[in-house]
């Protein structure tokens, strides 16, 4: 099976949401600021629950926030 | 070859393996970019592991120094050396086991201190323990076989030392594994 990469638009969506801070997003979705940083830099793939919480925090769907790139 | 030589070799192998693992994890993961003037924040578990290593390595080094200075047989022959070394090793084990024990308590309480990434790192932490302990046992086996070749037996004190070294190296590997996971993932 081909390898896949998960890309995300969290950084852009934070700025579009009134320059929401990483800490504010972390508090809203129930994780640490470090997790938001590594998520934004695509060093960590979140669980489905966290991905859905992040999408909900921006009022978007999971597909709007996360993107599956087939290599 | 003396036991001291093999002990030093064993002690040198652990940081060497950690360094190789760190370089490898850095080479596969892109570097983290932080805005100028900002530092990468640390998590509660990460701070706990750092404190645990700082507090656990001091008594471990002193205990190792005592055994090396007075010789391994002093551990069984000299009550003072045995008591001091055992006390220091116990203190080291308590400090090094603290992250696993406290993180377990935080996880049971469903505390905000741990998020899903912390839990994933905690679950992966024992991965390096088996390898570290196997390497250590191999070193002990080579060292004792070479040192006591031609002798009828190996002094029973080495069973004690093998136990303590496996226990502390297992805990060390778990803690170092957690810190490396924070860098790599």
DSSP secondary structure letter of residue B128: G
Q: Answer yes or no: do A31 and B115 touch at CB < 8 A.
A: yes
CA angle B7, B82, B171 (to 5 degrees): 55
How far does B128 lie from chain A, in Å, by closest CA?
Answer: 20
What percent of chain A is modeled with pLDDT above 90? Answer: 82
Please enumerate in sequence order all residues whose Cβ is within 8 A of that of B123, keeping only pairs 6 or more positions apart, or say none: none
CB pair distance less than 8 Å for B40 and A34: yes
Q: Is A37 on the interface with B (CB under 8 A)?
A: yes
Query: What's the pLDDT tens digit per position in A28-61?
Result: 999 999 999 999 998 899 999 999 999 999 999 9
Which residue of B lies nearest to A35 if distances are taken between CA atoms? B117
Secondary element (H or E) of residue A57? helix A48-57
pLDDT-flagged residues of chain B (< 50): none
Residue A23 is predicted with a pLDDT of 93
Which of B39, B42, B112, B117 to substitute to test the interface with A, most A CBs within 10 Å? B117
Question: CA nearest A10: which of A49, A34, A37?
Answer: A37
Chain B residues whose CB is inside 8 A of the A31 CB are 115-117
Angle at A59 between CA A53 and CA A65, to 5 degrees: 65
Q: What is the number of alpha carbons within 13 Å of residue B106 lying toward its C-beta?
A: 18
For residue A44, give the nearest of B115, B104, B176 by alpha carbon: B115
pLDDT tens track for B121-166:
998 888 888 888 888 898 888 888 888 888 888 988 899 899 999 9
DSSP state, residue B30? P
Asked if B52 and B95 count as a contact pair (C-beta separation under 8 A), the reply is yes
Chain A CA closest to residue B26: A43
Q: What confidence score (pLDDT) does residue B14 get?
A: 67
Placement of tokens 């391994």 in the chain: B72
Residues within 8 A of A (CB atoms), B 8-47 only: 29-30, 32-34, 40-43, 46
B153/B145 Cα distance (integer angstroms)? 10
Round to whole Å and give the CA distance between A57 and B112.
18
Instruction: Tell me chain B's radius of gyration from C-alpha atoms.
Output: 19
Q: Give the count of beta carbons closer than 10 Å to the beta carbon of residue B118.
A: 24
| Neighbouring residues of B131: CB distance < 8 A, sequence distance ≥ 6 | B173
ipTM of the complex: 0.86
The CA distance from B66 to A47, in Å, is 48
Asked if the C-beta of A24 comes within 8 angstroms of chain B's C-beta atoms, the answer is no
The answer to whether B115 faces chain A, any CB pair under 8 Å, is yes
| B185 contact A CB<8A | yes
Mean pLDDT of chain A: 92
Compute φ and ψ for B183, nearest 5 degrees: -80, -35
SS3 for B166? helix
Place of tokens 């979705």: A29
Q: Which residues of B touch A30 (CB under 8 A)?
A: 112, 115
Q: How many CB atoms lie within 10 A of CB A20?
A: 16
Q: What pLDDT is recorded for position B165?
A: 93
Greatest C-alpha distance within chain A: 40
pTM: 0.80
Helix (H) or strand (E) holding B149: none
């Amino acid at each position: 099976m081909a390898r896949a990469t998960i890309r995300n638009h969290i950084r852009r969506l934070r700025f579009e949401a009134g320059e929401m801070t990483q800490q504010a997003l972390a508090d809203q979705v129930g994780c640490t600021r470090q997790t938001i940083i590594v998520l934004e830099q695509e060093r960590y793939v979140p669980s489905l629950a966290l991905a859905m919480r992040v999408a909900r925090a921006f009022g978007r769907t999971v597909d709007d926030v996360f993107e599956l790139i087939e290599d | 070859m003396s036991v001291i030589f093999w002990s030093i070799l064993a002690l040198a192998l652990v940081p060497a393996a950690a360094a190789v693992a760190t370089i490898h994890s850095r080479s596969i993961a892109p570097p983290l970019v932080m805005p100028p003037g900002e530092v990468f924040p640390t998590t509660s578990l990460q701070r706990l592991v750092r404190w645990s290593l700082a507090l656990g390595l001091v008594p471990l080094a002193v205990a190792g120094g005592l055994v090396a200075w007075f010789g391994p047989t002093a551990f069984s022959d000299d009550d003072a050396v045995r008591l001091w070394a055992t006390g220091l090793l116990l203190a080291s084990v308590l400090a090094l086991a603290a992250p696993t024990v406290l993180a377990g308590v935080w996880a049971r309480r469903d505390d905000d201190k741990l998020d899903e990434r912390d839990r994933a790192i905690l679950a992966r932490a024992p991965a390096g323990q088996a390898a570290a302990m196997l390497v250590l046992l191999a070193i002990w086996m080579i060292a004792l076989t070479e040192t006591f070749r031609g002798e009828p037996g190996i002094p029973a004190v080495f069973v004690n030392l093998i136990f303590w070294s496996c226990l502390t190296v297992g805990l060390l590997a778990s803690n170092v594994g957690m810190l490396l996971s924070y860098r790599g993932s």
